[in-house]
């Protein structure tokens, strides 16, 4: 058996889609194990740019089994939009499998997501408003509706009726909003069920079979370590466990099935939505990175907050995920900068620390400790071998590797598949 998991080490948007797409070439099975349509993976392939939200990046290759497993919250409208979009571009989706155990997003989840954010005012999380949090809340409250329920019309009707009664009370009495009608929603979801039926399966069984046959399985993380519900900068996190540990519960495989762990690190930091961001740059350098890196959200179009690379964040993620390799992305975005800084720890109450405190108050008091690097100030987008990178760029990367005690496995210097240097053997 050979398996690998690709996780984000920062706050998402590290370029996981590109790394997964690259590794998917030698994978037999590609699995999305957490999150939902809040994710946005941009992949360049066949000379085109694809924006994926729910579909695993492996869909762009022929003959890969692509799995949306139980840990994902599935918006039927969105997945069908993506499937039909792929089909229209001539991409075969017949190898897609969706878990019977995945929870289903309904319009009331999205409405409550937006209303709750609005009610939080200045304390809002800055969610993608895709209904992620409310759907996972229903899952943990044990009132959620699963994909298997979509295939049982009577069950679906009963569950939707009970849920709608409750949600409509919340909508009308708590938020003074419009209620939803049962019948049209029920009919709509029956229709979705018919369209999704060919893809629905027990994906945990499929995975176990493939692992037994020693097939190459790639687990594709969405979001990132610091958006993890348990280990991220709570409450400014998502509602799932995107870390490598989330693979076991999110895909229904044993811890022994999680092989090589690859942490994707953007060569600088970005964050969308609210929440602590110690190395944020609210100046012309932040602006330069945003413009040069086109740092605007794939899912919401929001401008991303930009800042220096935080090695303390990456080190914490390396330990949390047991990283074997770092996959560095977007190094070329730093090409023009004369000086590049890397945060190596923080000053908190006069002490030097290199971990991320849980308390938001403490996080707010953390002052970054920076190391400065001379910028390489040359175009690296055509470099194809690590040894050919400018010395100054290698110095920056190797310092990160040392600080995080993790080998450099992949370096990416542009969006296309060709602009990827691989220094490790994964499959």
Active site residue 46: no
Nearest-approach distance from CB 236 to ligand IMP, in angstroms: 6
Q: Which of 217, 215, 220, 225 is nearest to 250 (CA)?
A: 220
Say whether residue 21 binds ligand IMP (CB under 6 A). no
Q: What does the block give as tokens for 235?
A: 């409450």
Catalytic residue among 21, 28, 41, 332: 41
Angstrom distance (rounded) from CA 48 to CA 41: 14
Say whether residue 233 binds ligand IMP (CB under 6 A). no
Q: Which of 71, 245, 259, 273 binds ligand IMP (CB under 6 A)?
A: 273
Q: Is residue 152 a contact partner of residue 178, using CB atoms and an 8 Å limit?
A: no
Binding to ligand IMP (CB under 6 A) within 22-61 occurs at 38-40
Enumerate the β-bridge partners of residue 4.
Answer: 218, 260
First to last CA, the chain: 10
Active site residue 284: no
Say whether residue 132 binds ligand IMP (CB under 6 A). yes
Q: Is residue 92 a contact partner of residue 56, using CB atoms and an 8 Å limit?
A: no
With CB atoms as reference, the residue minimizing the distance to ligand IMP is 273
Q: What does the block give as tokens for 327?
A: 């996959």
Say whether residue 229 binds ligand IMP (CB under 6 A). no
Angstrom distance (rounded) from CA 212 to CA 294: 42
Number of residues that bind ligand IMP (CB under 6 A): 20
Q: Which of 422, 402, 344, 315 is nearest to 19 (CA)?
A: 422
Q: Which of 10, 116, 163, 223 binds ligand IMP (CB under 6 A)?
A: 223
Q: Which of 78, 85, 95, 126 binds ligand IMP (CB under 6 A)?
A: 126
Angstrom distance (rounded) from CA 228 to CA 241: 5
Say whether residue 71 binds ligand IMP (CB under 6 A). no
State which H helix or E strand residue 317 sits in.
helix 311-321
Say whether residue 130 binds ligand IMP (CB under 6 A). yes
Say whether residue 322 binds ligand IMP (CB under 6 A). no
Say whether residue 265 binds ligand IMP (CB under 6 A). no
Active site residues: 13, 41
Q: Which residues sit at the interface with ligand IMP, rule CB under 6 A? A: 12-13, 38-40, 125-128, 130, 132-133, 222-223, 227, 236, 238-239, 272-273
């Amino acid at each position: 058996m050979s398996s690998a998991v690709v996780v984000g080490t920062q706050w998402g948007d590290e370029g996981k889609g590109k790394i997964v797409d690259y590794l998917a070439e030698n994978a037999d099975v590609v699995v999305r194990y957490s999150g939902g349509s809040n994710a946005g993976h941009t992949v360049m392939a066949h000379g085109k740019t694809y924006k994926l939200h729910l579909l695993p990046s492996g869909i762009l290759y022929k003959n890969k089994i692509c799995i949306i497993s139980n840990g994902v919250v599935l918006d039927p409208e969105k997945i069908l939009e993506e499937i039909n979009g792929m089909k229209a571009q001539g991409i075969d989706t017949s190898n897609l499998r969706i878990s019977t155990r995945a929870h289903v997003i309904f319009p009331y989840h999205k409405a409550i997501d937006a209303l709750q954010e609005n009610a939080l005012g200045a304390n809002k999380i800055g969610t993608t408003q895709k209904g992620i949090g409310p759907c996972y809340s229903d899952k943990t409250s044990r009132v959620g509706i699963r994909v298997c329920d979509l295939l049982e019309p009577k069950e679906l009707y009963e569950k939707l009726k009970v849920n709608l009664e409750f949600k409509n009370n919340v909508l009308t009495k708590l938020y003074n909003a419009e209620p939803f009608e049962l019948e049209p929603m029920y009919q709509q979801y029956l229709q979705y069920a018919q369209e999704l039926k060919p893809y629905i399966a027990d994906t945990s069984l499929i995975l176990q079979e493939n692992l037994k046959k020693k097939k190459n399985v790639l687990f594709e993380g969405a979001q990132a370590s610091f958006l993890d519900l348990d280990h991220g900068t709570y409450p400014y996190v998502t509602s799932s466990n995107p870390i490598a540990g989330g693979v076991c519960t999110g895909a229904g495989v044993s811890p022994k099935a999680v092989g090589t762990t690859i942490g994707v690190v953007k060569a600088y930091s970005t964050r969308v939505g609210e929440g602590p961001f110690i190395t944020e740059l609210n100046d012309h350098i932040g602006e330069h990175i945003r413009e040069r890196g086109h740092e605007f959200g794939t899912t919401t179009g929001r401008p991303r907050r930009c800042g220096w690379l935080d090695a303390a964040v990456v080190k914490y993620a390396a330990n949390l995920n047991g990283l074997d390799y770092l996959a560095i992305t977007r190094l070329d975005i730093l090409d023009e900068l004369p000086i590049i800084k890397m945060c190596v720890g923080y000053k908190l109450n006069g002490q030097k620390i290199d971990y991320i405190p849980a308390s938001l108050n403490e996080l707010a008091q953390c002052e970054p400790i920076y190391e400065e690097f001379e910028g390489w100030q040359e175009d690296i987008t055509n470099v194809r071998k690590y040894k050919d990178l400018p010395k100054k760029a290698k110095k920056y990367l190797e310092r990160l590797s040392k600080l995080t005690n993790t080998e450099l496995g992949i370096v990416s210097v542009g969006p296309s598949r060709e602009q990827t240097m691989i220094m490790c053997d994964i499959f």
